[in-house]
Amino acid sequence: MKAQFIEVHQFGEELEKMQSFAKSFDHHIEPMRHGKLIAFQKDERVFGYADVLYVPVAFPAFDPRSTHPRDVIEILQGWKHHCQIATGGEGLIGVPLGKDRKTFPEEMIQKVGFTRMKRELYSLDKLE
């Protein structure tokens, strides 16, 4: 039988079972306001899960020759407010990896108060 994708309700016994399952391999599931929890199941056995977020993600690009740190902060604050009004929730900011990023230096990320999601995003365009 092929794998199935089963939506888990965010509250109650189903969530508690998935939280126990995740804990069994050192993971932690938090209920989400803007997303779904999807269990991966095959032959009636759950073998994984995914948190699926339904929030806007911006990957801004700034010209370092004419952008000042204050400009970046102003845009990020505006993005946050836009997302709160448009979706009733939060928005996420995609930041380039590596220390050579010019408009998102580590000091600014810490000063602005970004919370690291400890995740990277990948495209599945080459998956067969």
Are the C-beta atoms of 37 and 7 separated by less than 8 Å?
Answer: yes
pLDDT at 26: 92
Strand partners, 37: 8, 51
Same domain, 102 and 70: yes
Residue 122 in domain: no
pLDDT at 24: 94
Same domain, 47 and 72: no
Mean pLDDT of 53-77: 83
Mean pLDDT of 86-102: 75
Same domain, 46 and 62: no
When divided into structural domains, the chain yields a total of 2
Same domain, 47 and 84: no
pTM reported for the whole predicted model? 0.63
Q: Which domain holds residue 79?
A: 57-112
Tell me the C-alpha distance between 121 and 83, whole Å.
20
User: Pick the residue with more confidence: 21 or 110?
Assistant: 21
Residue 119 in domain: no
Retrieve residue 105's tokens: 């230096």
Same domain, 69 and 106: yes
